[in-house]
Chain A
Amino acid sequence: KEMRARLGHVFATGSPVDDSSHAFAQCVTDETGGELSLTVFPDSQLGGDEALGRDLARGGLEFAFLNPGSLTGLDPLLDIHYLPYIVSSFDEADKVFYNPEGVLQTTLREAMGSHGMHAIGFFELEFRAITNSERAVTSVEDVNGMRLRVPGSISIRSFFENAGAQAVTLPFPELFVALQQGTVAGQDNGASITFNSRLFEAQKYMTLSNHVYAMGAITVGQRFWDEQSDERKAVIEDCATSATADQIVANRAQSAAYLDGIREGGVEVHELAPEEMAKFVEIGRNVWSRLEETYGADRIAALRAEVDGLND
């Protein structure tokens, strides 16, 4: 018998995540011979991440491409991957973030699992960056006293406060005008959001600080998942694997294109010199031990071990 299912996400039509969600939907529809067909609802048409999460858990939605970092209200562990400077390059990200046995994926899967959400694959969002309209940030001192808008994540906030910035909470829809009028000097989204939400139009400088690497999850509602046959589960998982692999490649190419677009928009884009990057990394990692209460000392210790292992 044929069955229809819905897939929701908050990403813009035509973005790499949206493309990937369509590829995944098509794959599932094809591989089940049309027995399970997915319809994609992009652009927050079915609500924000919190609403998607609630619906997945309660059975009102079957699939979502979620940003688990937005769901920390449900479980503080869901933004453990926002710990500053777990990695600072794509190579490192591949080893730490896309290791299914690693602390990050295990923690996220468990935390989502305990709230009725079954994660079947992880895709790339972006490295966060620092943009502002006051001065080029090339060292930690440049951030000092700068009024920066940050998302509601304890890790990111602590990082900027430690670096001497004034971290300000501001709802995203207000951000563009706030940047334009100088209510805040800058913000810390990466190339994709900075370009697509046109924030670069109100900014002069961007520094690829890579302080946080964000990852999204292809998620299935637990109730729906439990009703599927093992055979179908395997099909869905295979589709997730190929969709995420393709997404990561496409996302990196697109991210470079976004950076070009931001440069064309008149923004000076800076990279950090290795010794300055090292200082940022040190400030970032110092935050970790203070967040042991939030994420658990054992998890942070395990994560440190994983990250230290990168250098071997």
Chain B
Amino acid sequence: MSGRVSKRLMVLTVSRRCAPRSTGSMTSPNDRDRVIQNNGSPFVLFLRASSNVLGAFEKQVATLSMIVIMFAIAATIVVRLFNLPLPSLGEIAVVAMSPLTFIGGALCSHLHQHITIDVVELMPNSVFKTLLRGLSALSMAVFGGIFSWLAWNLFSYAFETGERLIDLGTPIWIPTGCMVIGAALICIHSIIDFLLVVMIRNREVSI
């Protein structure tokens, strides 16, 4: 019976002339939210909601950066080929790398999509697992904190000196500012993560 259903689905997608396939079966924050919804205190819900709001912002910024990178590089080809009287736009792509990396990195923190040596996943003992998750969230929060502070120092230097990139004159406080924001967001997400691990201690939730 279920086989028949999947065949029908196949036909449905086929009739749209394409057969899209999803790569990501990553844990969506919604799954986690559903679990939290059932056993979370108001504070837990608030933490989770804040993390989601920030995540939505990060998603917009990172997606936009990716699109900007693509068009800026494509534009440099066109400008050169047709000898258009425009300066090189490659600089825009290079600037957009900062929000993609650092604010996108914060989104990875929110969705637990950072690359880790995930031996933790192999551990059978769930108490130990929770402990390690807490530790790793804590270490990430410390990292985010120190990195925010360092990035801030670079940002304020860039802001004071007014250092610019050479081709279009983009002030470097813009990309370094994105680094500060990304670092701070990583720190916030990790603190929230840590609190959630401590407060819920439910292995399903912290997946």
Contacts and interface: CB of A to CB of B under 8 A. Distances in A.
B165 to A, nearest CB: 6
Contacts of A54: 154, 157, 163
B163 to A, nearest CB: 5
A170 B91 CA distance: 10
A270 interface: no
B13 to A, nearest CB: 40
B90 A73 contact: no
Interface in B139-168: 153-154, 157, 161, 163-167
Given A73-B165, A169-B87, A58 B80 contact: no
A193 B104 CA distance: 37
Interface in A141-173: 147, 152-153, 166, 168-171
A115 interface: yes
B30 interface: no
B157 A168 contact: no
For the residues of B in contact with A, the DSSP-based class is: loop
Contacts, number: 33
A153 B88 CA distance: 12
A57 interface: yes
A26 interface: no
Interface in B71-118: 80, 83, 87-88, 90
B166 A72 contact: yes
Nearest to B167: A152
A57 B172 contact: no
Contacts of B161: 57, 74, 115
Contacts of A166: 83
Centre residue among A74, A153, A169, A170 by max chain B CB count within 10 A: A169
A57 B154 CA distance: 11
Contact of B167 (A50, A74, A115, A169): A169
Interface in A167-194: 168-171, 183
Contacts of B83: 166
Contacts of B169: 73
Interface residues of A, number: 17
Contact of B157 (A58, A170, A183): A58
Contacts of B167: 152, 169
A223 to B, nearest CB: 13
A74 B163 contact: yes
B157 A152 contact: no
Nearest to A168: B80
Nearest to B162: A74
Contacts of A169: 87-88, 90, 167
A73 B157 contact: no
Contacts of B88: 168-170
Nearest to A169: B88
A172 to B, nearest CB: 12
A72 B166 CA distance: 7
Contacts of A115: 161
Interface in A53-103: 54, 57-58, 72-74
Contact of B164 (A73, A153, A183): A73
A92 B136 CA distance: 63
Nearest to B165: A73
Interface string B169-187: 1001000000000000000
Contact of B166 (A57, A147, A152, A168): A152
A54 B155 CA distance: 12
A171 B90 CA distance: 9
Nearest to A178: B80
A168 B90 CA distance: 11
A73 B163 contact: yes
18 contacts: A50-B163, A54-B154, A57-B157, A58-B157, A73-B164, A73-B166, A73-B169, A73-B172, A74-B161, A74-B163, A74-B164, A153-B166, A168-B80, A169-B87, A169-B88, A169-B90, A171-B90, A183-B80
Given A168-B88, A169-B87, A169-B90, 4 more contacts: A54-B157, A58-B153, A73-B166, A168-B80
Q: Which 6 A-B pairs have the closest CB atoms?
A: A152-B166, A169-B88, A73-B164, A74-B163, A152-B167, A73-B166
